[in-house]
Chain A
């Protein structure tokens, strides 16, 4: 298999080299044109004066990297890693905050369907992405719950002028991975449309062939994304956007040494209807109706093909929202109002549960002078299941000149208790423990007691007070500097998180197992600094370096370190450790860094794109029984990953690419199951 694909890659590369046709000048990136973003303020806004830490990934950068899914491209950004958290699902970690605290948007509207709070970002193909905007730090002042750690907005392509164009591409990679895209952009006067389709299939991978289960079982999925635009007039424009996603995966489980097999299916639908309405040159409104449904359904049969297990999950979100922006000279006042209707029906829920909330937000983008920009706003959420939230935010930018600015922000973020934390009702069939959502726990405990299943309830635990939202106060302070060939930015951050929701034991069962529920328990804090720089040696050669330093700790451990200071050494003797030996939260590396080199070989007009990523050691469990991660625990070793891609436009229309992700085949099967080995790939794209 490997040999076959290597051969394929080599052949493509040779074609590359031999093709000497004159290549179209590389995509015109107009250095002078202002980069604009929409995520930070919900209005189109120049990036340079924004007082918030923002990263932009362009379509060009995505294309040159040769990756295909959203998780892969995000994993290449400074300060972002994709890692399975304690739940076992792979998600995004940003400023040291887990995946549950980052909101993921496609064209400004959120994805739903989280497993243990984690969104699977491999659901999103990068095939028709115009750019990705990443706003770090609490953004609840605009986006409400989930945006406690930040917002990632995936903006898809749309035709801007009268045109019919499109592309077909096919990429083949190790593990029999196929990725095929077809994208058509069309515009004629008032009508425009975009149809994007993607098919992806893979055999998955298996780091340990001696076990029955693979790390990733084989699966395929497809995405169909039709979008229609109609301009009634210059002042009234309609967007109709849909996205359909469907995945089918082999479902295999090993329970008590018996193999069970079945399927796991996922279906997702996103629908956005939006009117852009320009009342006057100063007043502008957007009316948006968003509906999304995420479903999964999986089953396992035993060896006799008899149904053993069936689980399902069906979440709906319906969200009408109106936003209006009033321009007053250079300043903008934006207000929004909306309603969320959410429902979830899933296995282990007593019944279909529903949430609804109403919210309003206001933001003032104030430019008193050319040098100052002040962004101030708040959002108020009124919710059916938990206390209302007021999320303010203030951010200030001072521009010394075009090349140098300082920025700072402080904001409040929150994450509402999710459906699972409130309504879960799950008893593990083979082990016998029970997990109860906070809102159903009291009734279920009474019921279990009457059934004689409870040995005793833990004293002092009551469910009278409602479960509170997790909340954070976030500070960022940074600078931006640009001079000639050099540009860099630095951002220092601090997040103080309260009321973190943890599981805890609420009762002991007669079978020797426990009943768990959810509680507002710990306080954690994260702080650190992020650095990004790019140096453009020539138009053909540039190097960028990114680095993040991160500390993430549990405040109660720091405050009550005496409870954790004794451990045993290899001879089982007790030794006392120091407070400074406390390493911090699980799964956090102190140092992450990347080096990216882009080089165009002038002679053959081929782009070489090399990226090296470093992650310092981190711990995933407490190996010495003091309930915390300290420097005497076992750690996952630090490692480097290298990705390489070579791209070439053979003609205006034909684009070839070959490369390798994880070029040096770094693997750690026991500790990092989500890290596959080397993946070679080759891609061909035809533009029309």
Chain B
């Protein structure tokens, strides 16, 4: 009786262990867990504004390289509150500072916490930049709220952007702050704007999920 129980226990344990390791193996085979990376104080300067023509170079960022790039391998680029994606066409053709699109990038907006966004959105929801229309929504659907009294720009919570990169991979990112050193309550008098802090996760392997 005793041995039977022992045998049974060993059997159960073995099944358990193997089943566990099977799971792990399966995951590692296809979708290794994506790593969430935080980018702090990415500068996004601009000239003009307040009625003047907006200008200045965009800050181009590559998710796969996790750095600012100057070549055509960028995925998204920032200038002030404007964000563009490396796909489609130029939004403002007359703007010499706006880089030409060389990749197949596009963007889709998902509501949720950053961690909760695991499946890629449907292909139809991805939009590339087009003449006069930014793929990143503007107006009431913009990534930020603007406080008319304090002039503070705050990133909307629960807005996760899933970006198809210039070379057809996927990354998700969420903007946390528009101010240098990402203060939790920016002081209108001292906060320095046009410095992005965001989280991103780059998926190099899977074609369906993060």
Chain A positions within 8 Å of B, measured between CB atoms, are 433, 510, 512-514, 562, 565-568, 570-576, 624-626
Contacts and interface: CB of A to CB of B under 8 A. Distances in A.
A572 B176 contact: yes
A625 B157 contact: yes
8 contacts: A566-B111, A566-B113, A566-B159, A567-B158, A568-B184, A572-B177, A572-B184, A572-B197
Contacts of A625: 145, 154, 156-157
Contacts of A513: 148
Contacts of B197: 572
B4 interface: no
B183 to A, nearest CB: 9
B116 interface: yes
Interface string B140-171: 00000100100000111111100000000000
A576 B114 contact: no
Most B CB within 10 A of own CB, among A565, A567, A573: A573
A575 B113 contact: yes
Minimum-distance CB pairs A-B, first 5: A566-B158, A566-B157, A572-B176, A574-B157, A568-B157
Nearest to A575: B113
Given A568-B157, A568-B184, A576-B112, 5 more contacts: A512-B51, A566-B159, A572-B177, A573-B113, A574-B113
Most B CB within 10 A of own CB, among A512, A567, A570, A624: A512
A570 B112 CA distance: 18
A624 B155 CA distance: 11
Contacts, number: 52
A433 B148 CA distance: 10
B34 interface: no
B150 to A, nearest CB: 12
A572 B114 contact: no
Interface of chain A, helix or strand or loop or mixed?
Answer: loop
Contacts of B158: 565-567, 574, 576
A510 B52 CA distance: 12
B194 to A, nearest CB: 17
A510 B51 contact: yes
A472 B138 CA distance: 38
B71 interface: no
B174 interface: yes
Contacts of B155: 568, 572
Contacts of A571: 184
A562 B111 CA distance: 9
B172 to A, nearest CB: 12
Contacts of A576: 112-113, 116, 158
Contacts of B111: 562, 566
Contact of B50 (A512, A562, A565, A624): A512
Contacts of B113: 566, 573-576
B118 to A, nearest CB: 15
Interface in B158-210: 158-160, 174, 176-177, 182, 184, 197, 199
A626 B50 contact: no
Contacts of B177: 572
Contacts of A566: 111-113, 156-159
Contacts of B145: 625
A626 B158 CA distance: 10
A562 B158 CA distance: 10
Interface in B1-59: 50-51
Contacts of B156: 566, 625
A326 to B, nearest CB: 58
B144 to A, nearest CB: 10
Nearest to B198: A572
B160 to A, nearest CB: 8
A514 B148 contact: yes
Contacts of B159: 566
Most A CB within 10 A of own CB, among B157, B197, B199: B157
B100 to A, nearest CB: 29
Contacts of B114: 573-574
A574 B177 CA distance: 12
Contacts of B148: 433, 513-514
B184 A626 contact: no
A621 to B, nearest CB: 11
A497 B49 CA distance: 43
B176 A573 contact: yes
Most B CB within 10 A of own CB, among A562, A571, A572, A625: A572
B41 to A, nearest CB: 13
A435 to B, nearest CB: 13
A514 B147 CA distance: 12
A514 B197 CA distance: 29
A566 B160 CA distance: 11
Given A510-B51, A513-B148, A625-B145, A570 B157 contact: no
A626 B145 CA distance: 10
Most B CB within 10 A of own CB, among A510, A514, A570, A576: A576
A576 B116 CA distance: 10
A626 B157 contact: yes
A574 B156 CA distance: 9
Contacts of A626: 157
B184 A567 contact: no
Nearest to B149: A431
Nearest to A576: B113
A570 B184 contact: yes
A562 B157 CA distance: 12
B135 to A, nearest CB: 21
A425 B6 CA distance: 88
A572 B40 CA distance: 12
A576 B197 CA distance: 20
A63 B145 CA distance: 53
Contacts of A512: 50-51
Contacts of B157: 566-568, 574-575, 624-626
A567 B155 CA distance: 10
Contacts of A510: 51
A418 B76 CA distance: 51
A514 B146 CA distance: 12
Nearest to A624: B157
A571 B159 CA distance: 16
A565 B159 CA distance: 11
A218 B46 CA distance: 50
Nearest to B182: A572
Nearest to B160: A574
A558 B156 CA distance: 20
Contacts of A573: 113-114, 176, 199
A340 B54 CA distance: 57
Contacts of B176: 568, 572-573
B8 to A, nearest CB: 44
